[in-house]
């Protein structure tokens, strides 16, 4: 697994593990993370690269993808084999962070689009707790198969675009309702006047959420 790590100048309070979207790479997320003005809260950013695989919806073209997508509907985005393979890789990176001395509660899983789907899926199926989950323009795949081991007090930041025609707002809202129905109550849900993207307002809101979360750990 190709992983790029950006260390803070002082011992980190947390490790934020980032997963990019379909066809992108770790540099997309590292560019986003560099915009966070968390100068007083040292964070280790860990940027993962998805494996390269053929993606059916793109004519079988090989590209970085956490799992295959075969069509435009939500049910076409539930490649169980690929999702579970990537879940194992993400858990291996979590384990590597724990081996550096981080605790489970100092691990935050974050992602955009397909990477957000993986952050949600991996967090909810882990037997051990983590500190928080960030989903940007994402959704929960394989919801009916989730084990929901994650403690109900785990904080989530869920942001999405009101005009997203790639990951439809209905999919994100369905995922939020699903989480609420399973007892997850610390959900920060924000929508923005954008398409399938990330905007400055979302970055600002995420920054505030991270500062609140990490400030509690300081």
Q: Is the pLDDT of residue 203 over 80?
A: yes
Q: Which member of 191, 196, 205, 207 is catalytic?
A: 196
Q: What is the pLDDT of residue 152?
A: 94
Whole-angstrom distance, CA of residue 147 vs CA of residue 158: 20
Q: What is the mean pLDDT of residues 104-123?
A: 97
Whole-angstrom distance, CA of residue 174 vs CA of residue 194: 19
Q: What is the pLDDT of residue 41?
A: 75
Is residue 170 annotated as a catalytic residue, yes or no? no
pLDDT confidence of 216, banded at 50, 70, 90?
low
Q: What is the pLDDT of residue 38?
A: 53
pLDDT digits (tens, 9 = 90+) for 10-45: 899 999 999 999 999 998 888 777 766 555 678 999
> Which residue did the predictor score with more confidence, 139 or 70?
139
The tokens for 89 are: 């890789």
Q: What is the pLDDT of residue 120?
A: 98
Q: Is the pLDDT of residue 160 over 60?
A: yes
Q: What is the pLDDT of residue 72?
A: 75
> What value does the mean pLDDT of the chain take?
91
Whole-angstrom distance, CA of residue 98 vs CA of residue 66: 23
Q: Which member of 15, 86, 113, 137 is catalytic?
A: 113
Task: Spell out the domain ranges in the chain.
Answer: 3-217
The tokens for 103 are: 């605790």
Is residue 164 annotated as a catalytic residue, yes or no? yes
Q: Does domain 3-217 have CATH number 3.30.300.130?
A: no
Q: What is the pLDDT of residue 36?
A: 61
DSSP string, the chain: --EEEE--SS--SEEEEEE--TT--HHHHHHHHTT---TTS-EEEEEE-PPEEEEGGGTTEEEE-SS---SSSGGGG--HHHHHHHHHHHHHHHHHHHTTT--GGGEEEEEETHHHHHHHHHHHH-SS--SEEEEES---TTGGG----S-TT--EEEEEETT-SSS-HHHHHHHHHHHHHTT---EEEEEES-SSS--HHHHHHHHHHHHHHHHHH-
pLDDT confidence of 215, banded at 50, 70, 90?
confident
Q: What is the pLDDT of residue 76?
A: 57
Q: What is the mean pLDDT of residues 181-208?
A: 94
pLDDT confidence of 166, banded at 50, 70, 90?
very high
Is residue 196 annotated as a catalytic residue, yes or no? yes
**pTM (2 d.p.):** 0.93
Q: What is the pLDDT of residue 145?
A: 87
Q: What is the pLDDT of residue 40?
A: 63
Q: For residue 49, count other CB atoms closer than 10 A to its CB.
A: 18
Residue 20 CB-density burial (10 A; 0-12 exposed, 13-18 middle, 19+ buried): buried
CA–chain centroid gap for 184, Å, is 17
Whole-angstrom distance, CA of residue 110 vs CA of residue 214: 14
């Amino acid at each position: 697994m190709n992983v790029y790590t950006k260390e803070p100048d002082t011992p980190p309070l947390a490790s934020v593990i980032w997963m990019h979207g379909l066809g992108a790479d770790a540099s997309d997320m590292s560019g986003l993370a560099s915009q966070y003005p968390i100068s007083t809260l040292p964070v280790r950013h860990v940027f993962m690269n998805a494996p390269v695989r053929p993606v059916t919806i793109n004519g079988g073209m090989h590209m970085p993808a956490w799992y295959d997508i075969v069509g435009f509907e939500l049910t076409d985005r539930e490649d169980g084999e690929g999702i579970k393979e990537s879940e194992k890789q993400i858990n291996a990176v979590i384990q590597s962070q724990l081996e550096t001395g981080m605790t489970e509660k100092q691990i935050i899983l974050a992602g955009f689009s397909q990477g957000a789907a993986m952050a949600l899926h991996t967090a909810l199926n882990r037997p051990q707790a983590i500190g928080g989950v960030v989903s940007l323009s994402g959704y929960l795949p394989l919801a009916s198969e989730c084990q929901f081991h994650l403690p109900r007090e785990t904080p989530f930041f869920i942001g999405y675009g009101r005009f997203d025609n790639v990951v439809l707002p209905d999919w994100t809202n369905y995922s939020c309702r699903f989480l609420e129905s399973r007892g997850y109550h610390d959900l920060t849900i924000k929508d923005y006047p954008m398409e399938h993207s990330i905007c400055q307002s979302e970055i600002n809101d995420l920054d505030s959420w991270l500062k609140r979360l990490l400030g509690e750990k300081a």
